[in-house]
Structure 1
Amino acid sequence: MTEPGLRERKRQRMYQDVSETAIRLFLERGFDAVSVAEVAAAAEISKPTLFRYFPAKEDLVLHRIADHEGEAARVVAEGPTPIAALRRHFLDGLERCDPVTGLNDHPRVLAFHSLLYGTPSLVARVHAYQQRSEAALADALGGDLDARLAAGQIVAVQRVLALENWRRIAAGEAVEAVRGDAVAAAERAFGRLAAGLPDLAQP
């Protein structure tokens, strides 16, 4: 893969810096209490410049997980079958406490998830993000109706597993106390996907 050029690296750094500045302010004062103008001032850019990078206020938060939008679509190419690849990827995520799996008790991660799932406009934006992820996965699986139905089931399983892990961690349980149940639940869920979607579970 070709390394990004200097201009692209500067652009990516700008996205990262502005997003992190915004998230810090939102965590301190609440999403609705901070204006876009205040974020722009804190990031030392103009408001029009901020909107060139982030068309909506919610995008300032969702940028942190934007790299995961096409993740399931990329994973299915790793084989040996789509279900096996996605199962292995999710279990690997649990092993390394990837925040996307919900199995992470770092205070910053918990605070971010509380912001994300505790703000109605961000919840709506997450839903749109999941729809795009689902559409990309459906395309990777063939793009027809069966592929769209399968993608909907897979994305729903990943979402519910992650939310259950996050719910328990947010309630005060330790990662190691949740990990065993999280792995067992993932194994069951992907087993059911394999049984229900045999075309995606056979080489």
Structure 2
Amino acid sequence: MEQRTGLRERKKNATWELLRKTALDLFEERGFENVSVAEIAAAAEVSKATVFNYFPSKEDLVIGGMKRHTGDAARIVRERRRGQTPHEALRDHYLHLLARRAPQTGLNDNPMFLRVQRLLIATPSLLISAMDYRRQASVQLAEALIEEGNSLLTARLVASQLLHTQHILVEVNVRRVLKGEPLEEIRDSAVSAAGHAFGLLEHGIGDLMRRETEPPAPDAAYGPDGCRFDYEHDRAEAAEAAERVFADVGEEVLDKLTEPRRR
């Protein structure tokens, strides 16, 4: 029985790897929006149903791993030791992951990880999904803080600041890795950056960046309400601009903003 189970698991893992690699190959060649699940299935020589058995949606072929980590921050904060603040718990966990070069920190040079990051940066619809996963993580973290008796406003503010800070740290690491910088060099500065970033959360911004020089003259093109004096609302111009934006981002982004569905 154990041998059969082991063989079954190996076959499942092999199929999972085949589907993901096939999808990434097609996405890189033609663009994420220009490849259907049916085409991925055909290239992998499996049925469309098989693809959905392993990956519930097309985007899961690229960033499905992010979905599995949306509850991490909430869990870490719930399980923190007595006397430890949420930002201390998340900082320590982030530093632990940095030491392991975990993908969640961006400090990873695995070829598959790098392929995913390049595709993510180049695909607006995937960026929207990634942003939504971060939003879900923030909501879950806020709920964990509310469970401890904190107010809704305080919980949401703290959760948002903590997770956005960590996101910026990860984004910096990813971009440096994609530039080909040595991981050891990135890790050392990433640890320092984490100390600085979480230190700001702990001690507050305070007098940081207080202006010591005279400000420049106000921009004369803007009025007291922040609008340009020469601005005139033009429906035709607005419609044309909207059409350009929608044409640039593609139909799949619009689908995500209206009624996400499997393709």
TM norm structure 1: 0.80
Structure 1 unaligned blocks of 5 or more: 1-9, 197-203
Instruction: Measure, in 2, the Cα distance between the counterparts of 1:137 and 1:43.
Output: 39
Instruction: Measure, in 1, the Cα distance between the counterparts of 2:13 and 2:108.
Output: 26
Question: Is 1:36–1:47's contact at 8 Å kept on the other side of the alignment?
Answer: yes
Partner of 2:198: 190
Question: Is 1:161–1:186's contact at 8 Å kept on the other side of the alignment?
Answer: yes
- Determine whether 1:128 maps to 2:163: no
Amino acid at match of 1:70: G
Instruction: Point out the structure with the larger helix share.
Output: 1
**Identity of paired residues, percent?**
48
Q: Does 175-184 or 74-83 show the bigger shift? A: 74-83
Instruction: Measure, in 2, the Cα distance between the counterparts of 1:69 and 1:44.
Output: 32
Question: Is 2:91–2:194's contact at 8 Å kept on the other side of the alignment?
Answer: yes
Instruction: Measure, in 2, the Cα distance between the counterparts of 1:183 and 1:120.
Output: 30
- Pick the structure with greater CA Rg: 2
- Determine whether 1:175 maps to 2:176: no
Amino acid at match of 2:176: R
Question: Is 1:27–1:112's contact at 8 Å kept on the other side of the alignment?
Answer: no
TM norm structure 2: 0.63
Question: Is 1:19–1:63's contact at 8 Å kept on the other side of the alignment?
Answer: no
Partner of 1:106: 110
Question: Is 2:41–2:47's contact at 8 Å kept on the other side of the alignment?
Answer: yes
Instruction: Trace 1:157-168 onto structure 2 (pairs within 5 A).
Output: 157-168=165-176
Instruction: Measure, in 2, the Cα distance between the counterparts of 1:77 and 1:19.
Output: 34
Shift of 1:77: 2.2
Question: Is 1:19–1:64's contact at 8 Å kept on the other side of the alignment?
Answer: no
Question: Is 2:169–2:194's contact at 8 Å kept on the other side of the alignment?
Answer: yes
In the superposition, relative to structure 1, how do residues 138 and 43 fare at CA in structure 2: closer, same or farther (>3 Å)?
Answer: farther
Instruction: Measure, in 1, the Cα distance between the counterparts of 2:55 and 2:15.
Output: 11
Partner of 1:31: 32
Instruction: Measure, in 1, the Cα distance between the counterparts of 2:25 and 2:72.
Output: 26
Structure scoring higher RCO (CA < 8 A, sep ≥ 6) equals: 1
- Secondary structure (helix, strand or coil) at the match of 1:26 reads helix
Amino acid at match of 1:122: L
Number of matched residues? 190
- Secondary structure (helix, strand or coil) at the match of 1:62 reads helix
Structure 1 residues 9-28: Cα deviation after superposition (integer angstroms, max 9, x where no partner): x9999777644543343245
Amino acid at match of 2:118: S
Instruction: Measure, in 2, the Cα distance between the counterparts of 1:128 and 1:48.
Output: 26
- Determine whether 1:138 maps to 2:142: yes
In the superposition, relative to structure 1, how do residues 27 and 155 fare at CA in structure 2: closer, same or farther (>3 Å)?
Answer: same
Q: Does 48-57 or 90-99 show the bigger shift? A: 48-57
Structure 1 residues 59-106: Cα deviation after superposition (integer angstroms, max 9, x where no partner): 332213222111111111232332211011100111111111111123
RMSD value over aligned CA atoms? 2.8
Instruction: Measure, in 2, the Cα distance between the counterparts of 1:42 and 1:95.
Output: 38
In the superposition, relative to structure 1, how do residues 141 and 43 fare at CA in structure 2: closer, same or farther (>3 Å)?
Answer: farther
Instruction: Measure, in 2, the Cα distance between the counterparts of 1:82 and 1:132.
Output: 17
